[in-house]
Amino acid sequence: MHLPIELVLNVITCSLPKPNVLLRPEHPITQLLLQFTLVCHETRRVANRALREHCVYLSSGARLRSLLLAISVRPDLKHITALFLAPFSTTIDQPTTVCIRELLFYTCRTLKRLIIDMPLRSLNVEDVHHLVILQTLQQGLSRLEHLEEFVSVRDEIIFDPWSGEVPLTHWPKLKRLANYNPTANRGFWRSMAGRMKHLETLVLTRADGLRDCDIKAQYFSCCNRPIKVLLINVDSQQMRYGNFRRGGWAADKNKIMTIMTYSIPLFMDDDAEEVCQDYVKIGAEHGTLRDWEGELIPHPPLISEPPSPSTTTNSFFETVS
């Protein structure tokens, strides 16, 4: 007995994961959607749309090149909304970088979420070959004008190899940014405030320079927009309340910037870097990273001013009378 097509399509819809979830190729839901692309025209249409939203997981150079070849004969594959990109193993090579640029050129009109896991720090900007690779990456990433969420799992994303700055004006719609081991100095916070007009959530994993500047003073010197900042690290290396410079926090009277620390447990001989990267990667794939919350860093207590002598005298005589 053949089931009505409405029931079959309902089976596909009920099988889908929650919004913002990215699935690996071997996941049962991914395999199920692939099977539905072979049933009929209607199931293929619905399944392909779901695959573009939840299952574009490019964990190798071979997968990346295979998708590019498929796009040449199937233009609908350009309409990708979420993408996990980790085509390198230990080093970054120019041919694969060119493929990344081409893929981002194809998907820039629809791509809203991008998670990358790349050994960016293996590149040396003083090496001409590596400089060309960085420029190629920049050309692709700078086209993502509709990007709303970006996560760099392994290394800090740097666009400009000369200044080390991130020209985030290329991502005018970005709302959520997660970066690994950035140098969160004065220029960093001013850049977040001045260039990221719609940034709502900033996740920094094992960030450097947090002790060297007053975060809120630098941020609010350039804007007055609310933002959530989450600092991720292992417990033994986490920032503590007393380590923050809080001299300028009075500028945030309404406490519209929340700063929280999220401590990750470390067991036995685990590597702190790898553990942090794995946690962030899983959170990004599951779509929960944006909702993580940790220990809130409070404002320093306000010191009340002592009453003036005249006020004290008046209060005394008023009491006596």
Residue 116 class from Cβ within 10 Å (0-12 exposed, 13-18 middle, 19+ buried)? buried
State the DSSP H helix or E strand holding residue 129, giving kind and residue range, or none if neither. Answer: helix 128-141
Q: CA–CA separation, 142 vs 241, rounded Å?
A: 37
Domain ranges of the chain: 1-54, 56-148, 175-298
State the average pLDDT over residues 157-169. Answer: 50
pLDDT tens profile 229-256: 999 999 999 999 889 998 888 878 889 9
pLDDT tens profile 23-44: 999 999 999 999 999 988 898 9
pLDDT score for 237: 93
The answer to whether 87 touches 96, Cβ cutoff 8 Å, is yes
Residue 245 class from Cβ within 10 Å (0-12 exposed, 13-18 middle, 19+ buried)? middle
The answer to whether 153 touches 277, Cβ cutoff 8 Å, is yes
Confidence of residue 313 (pLDDT cuts 50, 70, 90): very low
pLDDT score for 299: 82
For residue 286, pLDDT over 60 is answered with: yes
Confidence of residue 9 (pLDDT cuts 50, 70, 90): confident
State the average pLDDT over residues 16-22. Answer: 92
pLDDT tens profile 106-151: 999 999 999 999 998 888 777 888 888 888 988 899 899 999 999 9
pLDDT score for 158: 58
Beta bridge partners of 296: 260
pTM of the model: 0.88
Q: CA–CA separation, 124 vs 170, rounded Å?
A: 24
